[in-house]
Amino acid sequence: MLKVFQVCFATGVLFSVLTFIMGRISDFTDMGVDTEIDADIDIDFNTDTDFNIDTDMSMEVDAELDISTTGEAPELPVSPLKPIVITTFVTVLGGVGMICTINGLSQGLAGIIALISGAAAAFLLYRFIIVPLYRAQNTSAISQKELRGALAKVTLAIKGSLFGKISYTVSGNTYSAPARSINGEDIERGIPVVIINIEKNIFYVKRIKGGY
């Protein structure tokens, strides 16, 4: 039973690290990742355990800014089956299970305590972090009409007809969005632009002279 808890804990930690790394190196374009991980993990709790984990992972990330044409975001339910919630459950279950087992509790009792602890941690994360963040994101939606003519700055260079990225500020809040040049010109990073039009959540911008 201890090995089961150790596998859960190690899997949760590894997945968290991988998710963090992927989140840092991905932007808003599609990304294909093929990863193979060979890990030997020695957890010394009077028990030596070796893990050999082979992972073939293919990930596609599509990030798209959803802007309501009316300025009101629809209230949609937040699914609790998010990777971060599941990872939290598995990691806490494994960690608490190892602690209980090492301290001499029976396997059944250790399993029950670990399950309750994992479920509680996942619920608290979902209820007090995921849901509030989701609501805050939805309530900050900006109408397209307000954004046309607004100033922005290029944060990822726009090359010809290819996509780039811009950031803009509305009511003290800073947002980012995929963007293209409306006339097909190259626009380097840091150049101020004006938002001309928005189609299918793509911002069409034009270079302007001067700064904000």
Q: How many domains does the chain have?
A: 2
Strand partners, 176: 167
Same domain, yes or no: 123 and 156: no
Distance CA 163, CA 201 (A): 12
Same domain, 94 and 189: no
With a CB cutoff of 8 Å and minimum separation 6, the contacts of 72 are 141
Phi then psi dihedrals of residue 9, to 5 deg: -65, -45
Do both 159 and 135 map to the same domain? no
107 and 49 in one domain?
yes
Choose the final residue of a domain: 100, 115, 139: 139
Task: Tell me if 212 is assigned to some domain.
Answer: no
Residue 26 covered by a domain: yes
What is the residue range of 84's domain? 2-139
Low-confidence ranges of the chain (pLDDT < 50): 27-76, 139-140
My answer on whether 73 and 55 are in the same domain is: yes
Whether residue 179 is found in the same domain as residue 121:
no
Q: Is residue 75 part of a domain?
A: yes
pLDDT, one tens digit per residue, over 114-169 is 999 999 999 999 999 988 887 665 544 556 777 888 999 999 999 988 999 999 98
pTM: 0.49
Identify whether residues 38 and 133 lie together within a single domain.
yes
Q: Assess whether 19 and 107 both reside in one domain.
A: yes
Sequence letter at residue 103: N
Name the nearest CA neighbour of 94 among 33, 63, 51, 56: 51
* CATH number of the CATH domain containing 172: 2.40.50.140
- 209: DSSP letter: S
Q: Is there a single domain that holds both residue 51 and residue 150? A: no
Question: Is the domain of 6 the same as that of 106?
Answer: yes
**Residue 124 covered by a domain:** yes
Q: What is the pLDDT of residue 182?
A: 92
pLDDT at 117: 95
Are residues 93 and 63 part of one domain? yes
Q: Compute CA 17 distance to the chain's CA centroid, rounded to the nearest angstrom.
A: 12
Residue that finishes a domain, picked among 120, 139, 158: 139
Distance CA 97, CA 91 (A): 10
| The pLDDT value given to residue 94 | 94
Residues 151, 193, single domain; the answer is yes
Could you say which of 139, 162, 184 is where a domain stops?
139
